[in-house]
Amino acid sequence: MSVARKSAHGYHVCYYSHLSWSRLSPSRSLSLTFYSLRIPAVSGQRGRKMSGKVQTLATYQAGARYCCSLVNWLNMVGKKKEKGNIILFDFFWWSTECNHCWKHCECEQRCLSLLMKDVLRPYVPGYHGDVEKDGQKYNQMEDLLAEFDYPCVMDCKMGVRTYLEEELTKARKKPSPRPDMYQKMIEVDPDAPTTEENDQKAVTKPRYMQWRETISSTATLGFRIEGVKKEDGTVNRDFKKTKTREQVTAAFHEFVKGNKDILNSYLSRLKEIRATLELSPFFKTHEVIGSSLLFVHDRTGQAKVWMIDFGKTTPLSEGKELTHRASWVEGNREDGYLFGLDSLVDIISTMVDS
């Protein structure tokens, strides 16, 4: 198995030996040694033979049960799979500290630093500053899965849109036809393109960005399910067309296997987060785009929810505040975060009461 991040300088691959996790006793301890392999970028070349200087990055030892859950979670959040079982990520493990180190993001670093002093602190990953490896900076964050036993994980992307207003404005300035986005569109819904788009076999980025939000529950419920990882390691990302309240309810029911105790724990945590958000100075003064709620539970019945992903969370101009519930009209920067959270609370409340 390999973990890699891509940059202008090529690929930086962290890899470890493939193990059959199912054969490992949960009580056993194992050691994973991570290696670093740099592959120079060569414009226009694909499928190149991997070669480069290999050096030991870190050795990690922990219970097999924990390592298995962590690796499976990484597989769920991986951005892209390539041939050779390589999964692209923007982070590596700073294993001696049991933290995740994500590729440095100024926006996320700023947000996490502020959140460590905000009332939302208990509901976000702990931030432990930056670390540097081979000249690259990384944001060092708490591993939220450390206390769980074979965790089940769900990622819900919050808000009525997952793009910044400035991204839409920028895309409109050069609305060139994009064959790659057309291909993504027809893979989800072959009937989505217009006659003209089918003739061109391309769509513009603004068109794709806005269409993408309408096919899921993002536009209607204020959140969408991005992915689920079950305790057996099975990963499901096929939620692009999960749109209706009934479909979302069915997905949650499958996720918790009908366990109302877990649903109650999630409901309590969501209500705590909502109450705290309404008091948070940080939340009132930031546009929160592309952020997720991470649901985690395990076989012991432990269940928690955290706010994660602040790479697109941006401050408002001085004196301005958002309701996070008002409808988005281009220019008002409303994100619909609380609208989505209200929907989640209502759906899970109904499930608990049914």
DSSP 50-87: P---EEEEEEEEEEHHHHHHHHHHHHHH-SEEETTTEE
User: Is a pLDDT exceeding 60 seen at residue 85?
Assistant: no
Q: Which two tokens stand for residue 210?
A: 């806005």
The per-residue pLDDT for 103 is 56
* Cβ-contact 263, 351 below 8 angstroms: yes
Predicted structure pTM score: 0.72
* Cβ-contact 141, 112 below 8 angstroms: yes
Phi, psi torsion values for 213, nearest 5 degrees:
-75, -25
d(C-alpha 25, C-alpha 289), whole Å: 41
User: Is a pLDDT exceeding 70 seen at residue 204?
Assistant: yes
User: Is a pLDDT exceeding 60 seen at residue 86?
Assistant: no
Beta strands 86-88 and 2-7 are parallel
The per-residue pLDDT for 104 is 52
User: Is a pLDDT exceeding 80 seen at residue 255?
Assistant: yes
d(C-alpha 188, C-alpha 164), whole Å: 23
Q: Roughly what angle, to the nearest 10 degrees, separates helices 245-256 and 260-277?
A: 120
- Higher-confidence position of 84 and 212: 212
Count CB atoms within 10 A of the CB of residue 61. Answer: 12
**Three-state SS for 275?**
helix
Domain 148-160+222-353 belongs to what architecture?
2-Layer Sandwich (3.30)
**Which among 59, 93, 109 has a CA at the least distance from the CA of 313?**
109
- Higher-confidence position of 237 and 303: 303
User: Is a pLDDT exceeding 70 seen at residue 55?
Assistant: no
User: Is a pLDDT exceeding 70 seen at residue 229?
Assistant: yes
User: Is a pLDDT exceeding 70 seen at residue 225?
Assistant: yes
What's the mean pLDDT in 9-35? 34
User: Is a pLDDT exceeding 70 seen at residue 200?
Assistant: yes
